[in-house]
Amino acid sequence: MAEGKAQEIFAPGTLETFARRVLEAAGGDAAESAVVAENLVAANLRGIDSHGVIRLPLYVSRLEAGLVAPRTKLEIVREAPAACVLDAGNGWGAVAGRAAMGEAIKRARRAGVGVAAVRNSNHFGIAAFYAQAAAAENMIGIALTNASPAMAPWGGKAPYFGTNPICVAVPAGRERPVIYDGATSVAAIGKIVLAAKKGETIPPTWATDPEGRPTTDPDVAASGTLLPMGEYKGYGLALMVDVLAGILAGAAFGPYVSNLRRLDAPQNVGHFFAALNISAFLDLDEFLAGMEHLAQDIRNALRAAGSDRIYLPGEIEWEWERKRKAEGIPVPEGVLKELRELGKRYSVSLGPE
C-alpha cells in the first residue's frame, strides 16, 4: 500500500470542497455539485485514484461544452411495483445513480426486491458509491454501468465495450460490508490514464496496441484496446452489463455510448441498480451471522506459499479509506497541475503552491 513519490497530500475535505466549488463556478447546480464532488473523493478515499479528482477536469470540460446538463432533471418513464426506469435528462451520473438506487431500495422495502435502470446519463464514478447505500440499509446492493468503448470483444482488436463494471455490496454484521467492485476489463481505462500522467508503464496484461499486440506504454494503449479479465469470461460479463445497463434501460450500448474524452456528443450512458431486502429471504440476524462466519472462515483459510494474509473483497479498499481519512489523500504532480490550472480559471484555491 505504498504511495507514490511526486505528489502532495490533501485532507479529503479540502479536495471535496475544491471540486464542489469548481463545479459550481463552471455552472453546475450547487446541491448536485456537492454529490459529484463527494463521489470523486469517495473514489480517492478507497484508493481508486483512477476515478477520483483526476476526473474533475474532464467533468468540467464536458459541462463547459454543454455535454452534461447543469441540473439533472430525473423522470420516471416506466415503472412496475418492483422496478422502474429513470431518464436522467443528460445530467450527472452520480446524481442519477444515487436517486436510482434510492428508488430500488424503496421498492425493495415493499416488494422484497427493487430494480432501477437509468438511461440518458453520464459517467457515474465508482459503482460501490451506490451499492453501499443498499448495504447500509441491510440489503444486498448491485450496481452496474456501461461506458464508452475501450475493450474489444474476445478475439477482436477494435474497442466495442466499455470497462462495464460490476459491484455487489453485502452487509456482514460486525464485519465491514463485503464489496466486490471491479471492471470487466483487467484494468479500468482510468488506471491507464493515471499511469500516463505519472510517467509510469503498465503491465503487458492490461492492454494492446491498435494491432492487438500487448503493450506496456499507456499512451499506445490509449489508441489500442483494453483486455478483458479472464479472457473470454470478462468479455461475456461486459456484454451482459451492456444488456442490463444499456439495452434494457433504453440507453446506448457498446460503441454507441459516446466517448467520455471526446467533447463531441452526449454519452447516453446506462446504469442498472438492484436492492435485495434480505429479510424477504431469510431472518436478517441469521443472514448476518452467516456472513460473519463466512468472513472468519476465509480469513482463517490455509494460505498459499508467500501469502501472509487473505483479504475479503473490498477489504483493501476499507484499509485505504481508514489510512487516507487519517493521513490525507495523495495527488500526483501531473494531476495536481491540472487541478491548479482549473482552480485558476475559476478563481478557486486548492491551497498554497
pLDDT in tens, 219-261: 999 889 999 999 999 999 999 999 999 999 999 999 999 999 9
Convert the pLDDT of each residue in 30-88 to its tens digit. 999 999 999 999 999 999 999 999 999 999 999 999 999 999 999 999 999 999 999 99
State the pLDDT confidence band at 198, using cuts at 50, 70 and 90: confident
Contacts of 170 (CB under 8 A, 6+ apart): 135, 140, 177, 178, 179, 291
The three-point CA angle 197-201-203 to 5° equals: 130
The three-point CA angle 299-52-116 to 5° equals: 75
Mean pLDDT score of the chain: 95
Domain range annotation of the chain: 1-64+314-353, 75-185+228-300
Tell me: pLDDT of 142 over 80.
yes
Tell me: pLDDT of 3 over 70.
no
**Domain 75-185+228-300, CATH number (from 3.30.1370.60, 3.40.630.30, 3.30.700.30, 1.10.8.420):** 3.30.1370.60
Q: Which of 15, 106, 89 is nearest to 52 (CA)?
A: 15
Is 271 among the residues known to form the active site? no
Selected catalytic residue, list 51, 123, 271, 293: 123
Contacts of 213 (CB under 8 A, 6+ apart): none
Tell me: pLDDT of 5 over 70.
no
Q: Which of 181, 198, 205, 173 is nearest to 292 (CA)?
A: 173
Contacts of 168 (CB under 8 A, 6+ apart): 131, 140, 141, 142, 179, 180
What's the confidence (pLDDT) of residue 1? 44
CB 26 within 8 A of CB 64: yes
Is 75-185+228-300 the same fold as 1-64+314-353?
no
Q: Which CATH architecture has domain 1-64+314-353?
A: Orthogonal Bundle (1.10)
State the pLDDT confidence band at 352, using cuts at 50, 70 and 90: low
Burial class (CB in 10 A: 0-12, 13-18, 19+), 187: buried
CB 186 within 8 A of CB 229: yes
Rounded to two decimals, the pTM is 0.93
